Every structure is written in C-alpha cells, then in structure tokens.
Amino acid sequence: MEKRKRKYNNLLPVTIMYLIALVLTVNMGRLLTTNQFLAGEKIKDAIYSIKDFKNTVREEQLKKEAAERVELVYKKIPQVPVNIREDMVNFFNELRKIRSNNTMDEETKVKTLIEGPGLTPDAGKAALNLSYQDTNYLEVIVMDLVSQWLAEGIREDAVDNIKTKATEALKHFNISEEQRLVGVELLYSLVIPNEIIDIHATAELQDEARAQIVPIEVKRGDMLFDKGHILTPADVEVLKLSGISNESQGMGRLKMITLSLGIIMISAAWYVVAKSLNLIDENVKTLSLLLILNWIMILLPFVLVKDLMWLWPIIAMVLLTRTLINEKAALLNICYLLIMYLFLFTVDVKYLVVMAFTGWLTVWLSENLSNYGRSRLMVLGLTASLLGGILLVVIEASKGSVGWHLWRQVVLLMVNGFISAIVYVGSLPLWENLFGRLTVDRLLELSNPRRPLLKELIEQAPGTYQHSIIVANLSEACAQAIGANSLLCRVGAYYHDIGKTKNPYYFKENQQDTSVHELMSFEDSARVIREHVTIGKRLAREHQLPQEIINFISEHHGDSLVRYFYNSAVNAGENPNPEDYSYPGPKPRSRETGIMMIVDAVEAAARTLEEKNEETFTELVDRLTRSKYEEGQFDDCPLTMRELAIVKSTLVESLTSMYHERIAYPEEMKIIGNTNRL
C-alpha cells in the first residue's frame, strides 16, 4: 500500500506539469491573438453583429436536430423466415444423420455438425450427446421461439442481443444444460434480421423535416450573444460568419516562446533531480518523455517561419515515440500534435491530412525496426515523406492547383524525411539513457556474449548457458507466433538464470557424476535452488540491467514450489512449510515472462524424457502448462487462452524439430556395422 502511495505521489508533479502544459497549449492561440473566441469561454460583454448575414450554422444545426428526431422506417424481408426455418430443419436432420453414422469418429462428427451453422465445438459435442427425445423436444422449442420472434420482427440493430434473448427465453423450459447450450448457440448462429431500415423512406421523412426549417437572417446590430453566455463550438462558427476579425499579437508570441522554454527546462530539471533520488517509475518516465517531446515539437513552429512548416520534423517525433514507448502511443501522439497545430497555427487541412498520413505510414513502415540499420532508416524516412508528397500532389491536382509552390512543398517534405532520420539516429541514445528505455538497439547490445554477466555464465555455468540458449530459441519462436516481443524474449532468456553462476554445481545441468544435494536436507536444497532468483536480481541490478530483463529473472518461476524437494520432504514423513519451498516471485506480469515460465519448465523436463517424439512432447507441454495454470501462475499475465494454445503448439513443433531422429544413410550404416563387429 505504501509503495503504491509513493508511486502516485511521484507521478503527481509531472502530471500537474503535463496538465498545465496542455491547458497552456490549448489557450496559446488566445494569448497570441486578439478577439479570438474559444468554445467554453464566458462572454464578458454582449456581442452584436457588425453586418447582415445568414446564420447557416444555426440553420444546419436545426436541420440536423429535426432529421435526428425522425423515427426510422423499417421494411420486412419475406424470404428470411423461410431461410431460417429451413436452416433449423436442416440442422436437426443433419444431427440425426451424423449421430446414427457409425463410421465417423467423435471428432469428425463434431466438426461436420458445426461447419454449417458455425456452432462452437462444445455446442457440437452437447448436441451429439442429446437423446432422440431431447433432440425432438429442443427442435419444437427452437422452432416455436423462431416463429414468435419473426412475428414480432427482428430488427438489424437487435441482432447482438439474440444470445441474451435466447438465454432468457430457454430459462422458462424444463430442459437440460446441454439442450440449453445447443439451443442458445443455434438461435444465435442461425437467426438473422427480418426487418431492415428502409433507407429511402427514412431519408424522405428526414428531408421533409429539414425542409420545415426556414433560413435564419441576422441583421446588423442584432445581439448575437448576451453577457455571461458560454460559447459552444457552433457559437464560435457563428462569430466567424458575423465578420468579427482576429489580429495577431507579436508580444504574445514572444511570451509564449519564453513560457514554453521555461516549461521544458523545469520539466527536464525536475526529471533529472527525481531520477537521481530514485523517485522515478515507468509511468513518470513515459509521461515526462511525452511532455518534453511534445513541447519541443510545439515550440519548433514558433522558431521556424510558417512557410517552412513542411520541415517540422514530425517523422522524427513519430519514430522516437514508436521506439521509446510503443506504436499505439506514436499513433495517438501524432493525432494530438496535429490537433494542437490546428489550434495554434491555423495550418491548412491538407497539411493535417498529409502529415497524419505520413506519420501513420511511418509507424507502419517501422514495424520491424530491429531490422533497420542507419542507412535503411534514411530510406524509411524518405519513403514515408515521398508517399506523403504523392498524396499532397493528388490533393492539389484535384483542385487544379499544380504549380511551383506545390513542388517546393514536396521537396521540403522529402528533406523533412531525411532530416527526421538524422535527428532520430542522433538523438536516440540521449533519450535511451535519460529515460532508461529498452529499445531494439539496447537489446541487441545486451545479447552480446561478451557482456560481463553472459561471459561469466559461459565460464562458470556452461550447462546453464546451454540451457539458456535453447530456452531463448524456443521462447523467440513462441513469441513470434503470438506477436509478442520476440527479441525481448530471447535476451530475457539469456539472463533469466544468471543467479546460477554463484553456485553452479547445485544445479543438475552443471553437475558431473554426483549431486551435492545428497548431503543436504530437503529444505536447504530448496533454499539454494530458490536463491538463484534472488542472486540473479542482485547481479542484474549491480550491472544496471533494464527492469524488463530483471522481470525475466524474478518472474520465470513465479511463486511456485520447488516441487521435487517439497515432495521429497513430504514422502519422507516431514511436514514442510510451503513458503520455505516457494520461489519469491512475483508471478509473470507480461506475455513475454509468461512464455518464459512455460518454456523454461518444458525445456528442463524435455531433456529427461526417454522417448522424444511429438506425442511425448505434446503430453509434457500440456501437463506442465496446465499445472502452472492451475497453480494460478498466469493470474497476472495478459496471455489469453488462445495465445496459450498457440504457444503450446509452437513449443511442441519446435521441440519435435530439435530432437527429431536423424536418418542413418547407407555409408553411415556400413561404418556402424564395422564398428559393431570390432
């Protein structure tokens, strides 16, 4: 509780600074101009029109409200009831036919039955288990419900509620759970709307409603808004129509540049001090990073003239956010930044469209950033800006506005891509070190076997190192299969057992003929085994490994038991305390560490199998994964059941490939035969 409280206290200062920055950003345009009215602003004095004009904003608003009040018109589809009943009858006939087919096995029956209606395998099994009497009764119930619903009318906006409606309806019948499961699935799968919106009839009624709204004429001198009125976005548009102008204010620009620089410097200073006092957690790092990046990007346009807005290095910001945080943050941040530009600099819509497209394209092109060298990053920046330039040409050509100014903008955009790549490559190490971000470059650096900890692992515990290499290969394959961070899995696997370097011969992979555990009590043996996690975390912190790597060390066993020694103590008649035989934890909290837990356990157990084939690997992987799941080791892990299934199948495939039996070729058979005779 105290730790969580301290965490939020640490987050508070930077959150306040971020909110202040956001408020100042939104209001910056107001400080830079006079007579600029903003939505949400309270009017100090009554405002009167300075000319005659048509209030098209209010007129369109009233038309929209009138159209929205019109009730939707629906029309029935005559063929739908026939199709639904036919599908229902076909399903039950197929069910009876399949159930009486003795040549098909259970799995084939289920698969064949659910193909048509799209039922779940559980529903298919339940249907095959129904007796003929239960099947007939369920058919009567389902057909009655279908007839009732079709008579009432099933609208297209109510399809999502079919499952709930079916569940409630079947509660009133005295049927088994299997009948209820099949009934719900069948109704949900086969029932479709028999009433759809009549677009033309509805549109006609809406057009009639709009036509009732008369134009709104405003005369010069008419009061637009009274004193104390709070402006809405629509009111702001009305003020623009009224002819009230806005004039730039130079001193406001200078003040805002000074204020922006001050906020950036205060934020950076606070971060450096807080980091030196160990008051920084991941949330604070991320928020501070976004704060500084965004304010730099907002400050740049104040320094550069608006004519050079195509040089504003948005691509660099996207690449940095994508690398240092994630792609979702990059996508959201480009939207946030462009909205701020719209508020502050009255940029053209075409600029927003082109830069949004270029930014999103950059995120997509940088999906496999680990494969990019410096030269390819230049190509990435140029490619994104080139495609953005093509979009710009298309937009301008559609307006018949192709000229030298367009080609100048395209060239500036290309230069932007080149400069952004240079800024990204040059500044990335600074951001990595300042905010402690685990980037692809950092992971590749940590994977070098010449790193002190890995070198010590190779020299002191070669068996453990070999185990780590195998686990790294298996983990990487599993991570790739579910779209997790495969490089993080590989590097985390290299370091997950570094704690074994201090007592290598207590672990089986490093032992020779005899085991030192034969001379120890079960509790002492368990303690030594458990300590490799604690020692590993200490070594990792001493060598300043990133927290993401330390998580692999602390989470790959979770808080599970050192089961061999615990069971041995129980079998010896002792009454062991489970806490004395449990790893310190915590449980896996990411998909990557969850994968590591499974792979680490499976790889160690696979080496002990007498027969190594697909069947034995499948049984082993299922058993160990189920055991970890039942122990609750995945309670804090975001791995889904679908992803677990993919991980298991990938693991079996990889192990089978790794341990496949090698075919002895004729020459080898001859050598083997001669050797046997000798």
Alpha-carbon dihedral angle through residues 584, 587, 588, 589, given to the nearest 10 degrees: -110
Spatial contact of 580 and 527, defined as CB atoms under 8 Å apart: yes
How far is the C-alpha of 151 from the C-alpha of 146, rounded, in Å?
A: 8
The secondary structure of residue 191, as a DSSP letter, is -
What pLDDT does residue 148 have?
82
* Residue ranges per structural domain of the chain: 74-192, 304-430, 442-658
Q: Are 267 and 291 in contact (CB under 8 A)?
A: yes
Residue 175: which residues within 8 A CB-CB, separation 6 or more? Answer: 134, 137, 138, 141, 183
For 8-12, what is the mean pLDDT?
47
Overall size of the chain counted in residues: 678
pLDDT in tens, 438-472: 777 788 889 999 999 999 999 999 999 999 999 99
Residue 417 — left, alpha, or beta (φ > 0 → left; ψ -120 to 50 → alpha)?
Answer: alpha
In terms of Cβ atoms closer than 10 Å to its own Cβ (0-12, 13-18, 19+), residue 176 is middle
Cα 586 → chain centroid? 23
Q: What is the distance, to the nearest Å, from the Cα of residue 48 to the centroid of all Cα atoms in its chain?
A: 51
Rounded Cα–Cα distance for residues 363 and 369 (Å): 10
Query: Please, which pLDDT band fits residue 83 given cuts at 50, 70 and 90?
Result: confident
Give the contacts of 566 (CB within 8 A, at least 6 positions apart).
522, 526, 576, 578, 581
At 488, list the tokens.
């993080």
Distances (CA, A) of 509 to 92, 258, 406, 497, 536: 58, 63, 68, 12, 17
| Chain position carrying tokens 């239960």 | 134
Residue 653, pLDDT > 90, answer yes
- DSSP designation for 581: G
Report the distance separating Cα 335 and Cα 341, nearest Å: 10
CB 382 within 8 A of CB 361: no
Residue from 73, 79, 77, 66 nearest 199 by CA = 73
Per-residue pLDDT at 246 exceeds 50: no
| Residue 651 banded pLDDT, cuts 50, 70, 90 | very high
CA angle 322, 316, 288 (to 5 degrees): 60
Give the span between the Cα atoms of 268 and 289, in whole angstroms. 9
* pLDDT higher than 90, residue 645: yes
Q: Which uninterrupted H or E stretch holds 164?
A: helix 162-170
What confidence score (pLDDT) does residue 630 get?
93
Joined tokens for residue 111: 């698969």
Position of tokens 């600099």? 345
Predicted confidence at residue 18, as pLDDT, reads 52
- Give the DSSP H/E element, type plus range, for residue 416: helix 404-435
CATH no. of 442-658: 1.10.3210
Q: What is the pLDDT of residue 261?
A: 52
Token readout for 357 is: 């497209």
Burial annotation 403-426 (CB, 10 A radius, 16+ → b, else e): eeebeebbebbbebbebbbebbbe
The model's pTM: 0.52
Q: What is the mean pLDDT of residues 32-57?
A: 70
Q: What's CA 278's distance to the chain center, in Å? A: 29
pLDDT tens for each residue of 529-580: 899 999 999 999 999 898 899 999 999 999 998 888 888 888 888 888 888 8
Which among 21, 30, 68 has a CA at the least distance from the CA of 236? 30
